Amino acid sequence: MKLAIEGGCNAVASTFGVLGAVSRKYAHKIPFVVKVNHNELLTYPNKADQILYGKVREAWNMGAAAIGATIYFGSPESGRQIVEISRAFEEAHSLGMATILWCYLRNDAFKVEKTDYHLSADLTGQANHLGVTIEADIIKQKLPELNGGYKALNLGNSSYGKLDDRMYSELSSDHPIDLCRYQVLNCYSGRAGLINSGGASGFNDMEDAVRTAVINKRAGGTGLISGRKAFQKSMHDGVELLQAIQDVYLMPEVTIS
Strand 37-38 and strand 51-52: pairing?
antiparallel
Angle, helix 235-250 to helix 205-219, in steps of 10 degrees: 20
From the candidates 140, 142, 217, 229, give the one annotated as an active-site residue. Answer: 140
Identify any residues that bridge with 13 across adjacent strands, giving them in sequence order.
33
C-alpha 93/C-alpha 125 separation (Å) is: 24
C-alpha 223/C-alpha 11 separation (Å) is: 12
Is 25 assigned a catalytic role? no
C-alpha 155/C-alpha 71 separation (Å) is: 26
Q: What are phi and psi of 31, to 5 degrees?
A: -60, 135
- In the chain, % helix, strand, coil (3-state, to 5) comes to 40, 20, 40
Q: Which value, in Å, is the radius of gyration of the alpha carbons in the chain?
A: 18
Q: Evaluate the omega torsion of the peptide bond into residue 45 and state whether it is cis, within 30 degrees of 0.
A: yes
The burial class, CB within 10 Å (0-12 / 13-18 / 19+), for 163 is: middle
Amino acid at 182: Y
Query: Catalytic positions, please?
Result: 140
